[in-house]
Amino acid sequence: MFARVIWIVLDSVGIGPLPDAADYGDAGRDTLGHIAAQRNAQGRPLHLPNLVRLGLANIRPLAGLPAQNEPLGAYGMGATVSPGKDTTTGHWEMAGIFLDRAFPTYPNGFPPEVIEPFERAIGRKVLGNKPASGTEIIEELGEEHLRTGRPIVYTSADSVFQIAAHEEVIPVPELYRMCEIARQILDGPHRVGRVIARPFTGTPGNFRRTERRHDYAVEPPRPMLLDLLAERGVPVFGIGKIHDIYNGRGVADYVTTKNNADGMARLAAAVAARPQGLLFANLVDFDQLYGHRKDVEGFARALEEFDARLGSLLEQLRNTDLLLVTADHGCDPCPCSPSTDHSREYVPILAYSPGGRRGVALGERRTLADMGQTVADNFGTRLPRGTSFLAALKPG
């Protein structure tokens, strides 16, 4: 039906708590709802004209954002079936992968059976080994790292093993090698979702993380959407973390990104140059710069900046294009919640084509795999789970 699908994941932009949110300590957490309410209370409603035109405020009431009589496309929200609330869980479920259990987390740091073989393999002791903000632990331990050459290991509320190192102390290729070693060790009961390289530069008091971050994800099980598309000869172009999240499987070509603006610029270039297949993008700033740092205003501005760039992207679309805009989980920055963790939330689903049907209410989708099934359906294949809503997008 569509020659090209453009799929944008707004990392952590949830739209209200899932029914089981309390089981995760997330009762009442509501990323978009709280941001909209705070801005509206300040007399500065969120300015998201393009997302509103697509139907964002028709999914559910959002303070200061008007519902449309007839949105440009289809709108709804998706629930996560798999246990967990992280990037890997959300993106995998979109691609048709369901987890039986959540990836492990380490609120007290990693146990000796993980750290000791890692230290032996890299020939150095580590610093840290505790949950922490990435910027804060670099400020705390960066000077000691410069003095000792010991890498900084830390985690978060998510299932991650992160290694931070100054690029002049541990060169980036060596940091990547350490991450590959950690990825081999972290298996079985310690099979974390991602191992992440976190290079930084600068001097004490002025450290800065660089753009050479690299994620080492768990190998996704089969069958998975991107595998099926590759088998059908459908080219997949990944933007941002997409290649890392799926370990490159089914991704014919990809680019990494520095920030949301760079991601949207690369997506616009891909739309101009790649007329077929799946263009799959993750925009991470909402999550790593604002959600985890409890920065409501920064999150709001990032949404508005994305919306402005979305307007330009909409002008590029053809009648044979399908645009999907969604998220993978929430990360409510509201100070009403003390948690800096991801939040267990519904995600928005917006689907639009200049040649498609308008004003379609998709309702509450039972699983994020409904989006993957829609993409699969469009390209003539099928996932084992998920319900396609492709037929609802056809012109009436």
Per-residue pLDDT tens digits for 181-217 = 999 999 999 999 999 999 999 999 999 999 898 989 8
Q: Is residue 145 part of a domain?
A: yes
Q: What angle do CA 308, 313, 315 make, to 5 degrees?
A: 105
pLDDT value, residue 339: 86
Please identify, among 217, 249, 265, the residue that sits at the C-terminal boundary of a domain.
217
Q: Are residues 208 and 68 both part of a single domain?
A: no
The answer as to whether 106 is a domain residue is no
Radius of gyration of the chain (CA): 21
202, 227: one domain: no
Question: Average of pLDDT values for 341-357?
Answer: 96
User: Within this chain, do residues 39 and 162 fall inside the same structural domain, yes or no?
Assistant: no
pLDDT digit string, tens, across residues 21-45: 999 999 999 999 999 999 999 999 9
- Within a domain: residue 107? no
354 is a domain residue: yes
Share of the chain above pLDDT 90, in %: 92
Q: What is the mean pLDDT of residues 136-152?
A: 97
Please enumerate in sequence order all residues whose Cβ is within 8 A of that of 213, keeping only pairs 6 or more positions apart, or say none. Answer: 196, 197, 198, 199
pLDDT of 211 reads 84
- Looking at residue 396, its pLDDT comes to 64
12 and 67 fall within a common domain: yes
Residue 183 within any structural domain of the chain: yes
- Nearest Cα residue to 159 out of 195, 128, 209, 133: 195
In total, the chain counts a number of residues equal to 396
Residue 105 forms part of a structural domain: no
Residue 337 — pLDDT band, cuts 50, 70, 90?
A: confident
Instruction: Give strand ranges (E) for 158-235.
Output: 160-166, 194-201, 208-209, 214-217
- 136 & 236 share domain: no
CATH of the domain at 257: 3.40.720.10
CA distance 37 to 294: 15
In a domain, 369, yes or no: yes
Return mean pLDDT, the chain.
Answer: 96
**Which of 125, 138, 341, 178 minimizes the C-alpha distance to 186?**
178
pTM: 0.91
In percent, the amount of the chain with pLDDT more than 70 equals 100
217, 248, 268 — which closes off a domain? Answer: 217
Determine contact, residues 155/130, Cβ cutoff 8 Å. yes
pLDDT tens digits along 225-258: 999 999 999 999 999 999 999 999 999 999 999 9
Which residues constitute the domain of residue 155?
Answer: 112-217
Residue 250 token pair: 């089914």
Do 227 and 337 lie in a common domain?
yes
Residues 175, 45 share a domain: no
Among 217, 245, 278, where does a domain finish?
217
* 331 confidence band (pLDDT: 50, 70, 90): very high
177 and 202 in a single domain? The answer is yes
**What is the per-residue pLDDT across 86-120, written as a single tens digit (0 to 9) for each?**
999 999 999 999 999 989 999 999 999 999 999 99
- Give the number of domains in the chain: 2
Closest among 166, 165, 154 to 128, alpha carbons compared: 154
Predicted confidence band of residue 133 (pLDDT cuts 50, 70, 90): confident
Residues 6+ apart with CB under 8 A from 144: 127, 150
* 287 domain-assigned: yes
* Claim to verify: residue 42 and residue 178 sit in the same structural domain: no
Find the CATH number of the domain harbouring 190. 3.30.70.1250
226 and 350 in a single domain? The answer is yes
Same domain, 227 and 339: yes
Using CA atoms, how far apart are residues 313 and 295, in angstroms rounded to an integer? 27
Q: Is 155 helix (H, G, I), strand (E, B) or coil?
A: strand
